[in-house]
Amino acid sequence: MRLQQDSDCVAPGGASLPSASGIIPLLVAAAVLLPCRLCAADGGESTLLRNLRKGHPRLLLLEEDAPRIRKAIKEDPVIGQWYEQVKGQAGELLGQKPMEYAMDPRGHALGACRQALDRILTLGLVYRVEGGEQYAARAVEEMLAAAARDSWNPKHFLDVAELTNALAIGYDWFHDKLSPEQQKTIREAIVKKGLSESLPFYNTAFYWASCNHNWNQVCNGGMMVGALAVADEEPELAEKIVSAALKSIRASMKEFGDDGGWAEGPGYWRYATEYAVFFTAALESALGEDAARPMLDNKGFANAGEFCIHVTGPFGKTFNFADAGDHAGGAPQMFWMGQKFGKPAYSWFAQKYGWAAPCNILWRSEPGKSPKELGMKLDAFFPHSNVVCMRSAWEDENAVFIGFKGGDNKTNHGHLDLGGFVLDADGRRWALDLGGDDYGLPGYFAYGKPKYYRLNTHGHNTFVINGKVQSQDGVAPIVAFQSKPELAFAVADLTHGYRQQAKSLMRGIFLIGRRNVLIQDELELPKESSIVWQMHTRAKIMLGGSQAMLTLDGKRLCAEIVEPAGAKFERVPASAPKPEAQQPDVSKLTLSLKLPPGKHRIIVQLCPDKRESPGKPKSLSEWIGKAEVKSGSR
């Protein structure tokens, strides 16, 4: 079972898409009226498909791959255990009916489409590795049930992408067990209900075909796999799709920057990279490495696994900003990426957090090496997404870990959380991000950011000024970063997000001696204002004026207000009215101040186990001047 979350149907900038009754006729009309931009310019014979691998299978798992997998199952205890579990899952599927595709209240059946893909991968892997008519027959039954649907729901195109991917892999892997009539039925479904539905989007560069977030990778990935599966029988259509997908996916792949960071957070990093790998692996297996070269040469894609590793804390909780859950989960694509990009730490991560999933067995080539073995830096700055991670050690569940972000509030799945952070120490998460809420809440994407607690500024570990949330278009660059053995820090310029309430606002977070955390905020106010500094926690809070003792499962964290003098901590609830998510076990440690116009400084120290002296504070400008990495404020 894959753990990535569901993406909802959201247009760029957060606006809801029009209803299907409005979109689809317009796109179809546009596709008819516009000249096809996807055909060869001279109308001549296609060159994209000239190296198409003949016959089947040609996607992901080739005949020559099976002996390698069999050998690994026999010789590698991890692979052997995973395979036995996958085979057991395949056996259980033999007695189950095909997926049903009832629409949920949001108008899609994405969960069922994903399960269909998982079923076909599970049955297909066992069949390709060891044969078994029963597995093939059950997979064909699954595919025919999906093919019989009247529509694959193009108004929510992720449904189409996942189901096209599923049937394309099944069509390819089980091709030798399909009768001519079954081949025709499944192929026509892939063409008519999958690939052809993408042409209006490609021809008009509408929404997912041009957006820069996970929808782009997922939809292009599904279309690429589908096109390559039927390319010998449908060469003209396949040529169009392959050409269009290669152009379209550039929009999202550039969002990795050079550093590999992902602004949609770790949850959608998994979804995006999973389909970027489906896209690239299918291209390479069907057309050869040269065809996949634009993806393989993408520096950000090659480095994307670094982001996944760094945003995962010492005991498996992630820095879960932007609608993400906080569980690291598995990432089979990290095996593929580790092998293709020569990154043994990726394979280490995939194995550490892996489980019995078909793609873990398909793509695993080696156990990899840990960040500690490789001497990876303890801290990382991802400039393109303005995210920083710092820690005291690798492979120590008790290590201190900080995730800190600036970012862009307009990001798809983004929250109004500029300046937000999480903190782990002694095997506990002390400062937490609540994650997303129910996507079915009215207006969750259209106007929900200021409306819902978990999405707006009140629900994050940052500032609230005069009771107002951050600007929905707010941007906060990380302007300084340093990583040295005794001191790591980062400074974010939050001014743009608070420009209606403050002349300037800067936040610096310091990891001192790889143990103690200092959060230093400097702001300039145009008028008397109410300021609330806040940190969400599941710890029990014992207040003591300028100090607070947090306890959680027998561990302690000491919090102290270093500046301003006389300020006191408070404890307040952290739940919103129903039907929003409730978290009665979470409280907010807050610091409330009424400040006059002018410049101010707020410093809070967080020390695991016992209080330590913070030393004499320096201004953030002094710290910025000494930083290893500097960038300009907005």
What digits encode the pLDDT tens for the residues 266-312?
Answer: 999 999 999 999 999 999 999 999 999 999 999 999 999 999 999 99
pLDDT of residue 450: 80
The candidate with the shortest Cα–Cα distance to 80, out of 364, 323, 409, 307, is: 364
Q: Which pLDDT does position 46 carry in this prediction?
A: 57
Same domain, yes or no: 160 and 275: yes
Query: Do 204 and 151 belong together in one domain?
Result: yes
Q: Are the C-beta atoms of residues 431 and 422 closer than 8 Å to each other?
A: yes
Nearest in space to 585 (alpha carbons), one of 517, 519, 632, 538: 538
Q: Within this chain, do residues 412 and 303 fall inside the same structural domain, yes or no?
A: no
pLDDT in tens, 28-75: 444 443 333 334 433 445 578 999 999 999 999 999 999 999 999 999
228 lies in some domain: yes
How far is CA 17 from each of CA 23, 24, 290, rounded to the nearest angstrom?
8, 11, 37
The pairing of strands 516-525 and 529-537 is: unpaired
> Residue 55: inside a domain, yes or no?
no
Q: Residue 492's beta-bridge partner residues?
A: 478, 507
| Residue 22, domain member (yes or no) | yes
Give yes or no: residues 387 and 360 share one domain.
no
Neighbours of 484 (CB within 10 A): 11
Q: Do 362 and 401 belong to one domain?
A: no
Would 527 be classed as within a structural domain? yes
CA dist 273 → 281, 473, 551 (Å): 12, 26, 38
- Report the share of the chain in percent with pLDDT over 90: 85
Q: Are residues 384 and 524 in the same domain?
A: yes
- Per-position b or e across 9-47, b if 16+ CB within 10 A of its CB: bbbeebeebeeeeebeeebbeebeeeeeebeeeeeeebe
Number of DSSP helices (H) and strands (E) in the chain, helices first = 20, 20
* Average pLDDT, consecutive stretches of 10 residues, N- to C-terminus, the chain (634 residues): 41 37 47 39 62 97 95 93 97 97 90 97 97 97 98 96 98 97 98 98 96 97 98 96 97 96 96 98 97 96 98 97 90 96 96 94 91 97 97 97 97 96 98 95 81 96 97 96 96 97 98 96 98 98 97 96 96 93 96 97 93 82 84 52
**What per-residue confidence (pLDDT) applies to 41?**
35
245 in the same domain as 116? yes
Single-letter code of the amino acid located at 572: V
Does the residue 5 lie in any domain?
no
CATH number at residue 325: 1.50.10.100
Domain boundary among 340, 366, 392: 366
Return the SS3 of 304: helix
pTM: 0.92
Give the pLDDT score at 329.
82
In a domain, 562, yes or no: yes
What HEC string does 58-123 produce?
CCCCCCCHHHHHHHHHHHCHHHHHHHHHHHHHHHHHCCCCCCCCCCCCCCCCHHHHHHHHHHHHHH
Read off the tokens for 400: 């201190």
Number of independent structural domains in the chain: 2
CA distance readout (Å), 506 to 16, 177, 200, 597: 33, 63, 46, 16
**Domain identity same for 162 and 45:** yes
Q: What is the token pair recorded at 301? A: 């894609």
- The answer on 351 and 420 residing in a single domain is no
Q: Is 430 helix (H, G, I), strand (E, B) or coil?
A: strand
- Do 396 and 320 lie in one domain? The reply is no
37 lies in which domain range?
12-50+75-366
What is the SS3 assignment for 161-211?
HHHHHHHHHHHHHCHHHCCHHHHHHHHHHHHHHHHHHHHHHHHHCCHHHCC
In 3D space, the residue among 97, 106, 218, 102 whose CA is nearest the CA of residue 149 turns out to be: 102
Do 357 and 497 fall within a single domain? Answer: no
Are the C-beta atoms of 501 and 527 separated by less than 8 Å? no
For residue 603, the domain's CATH number is 2.70.98.70
Residue 57 lies in a domain: no
Residue pair 569/545 in contact by the 8 Å Cβ criterion: yes
> Residue 116 to residues 122, 145, 153: CA-CA distances in angstroms?
10, 10, 15
Q: Which two tokens mark 613?
A: 């002296």
Q: Do residues 300 and 260 touch, judged by C-beta distance below 8 A?
A: yes
Assess whether 362 and 442 both reside in one domain.
Answer: no
Domain assignment present for residue 374? The answer is no
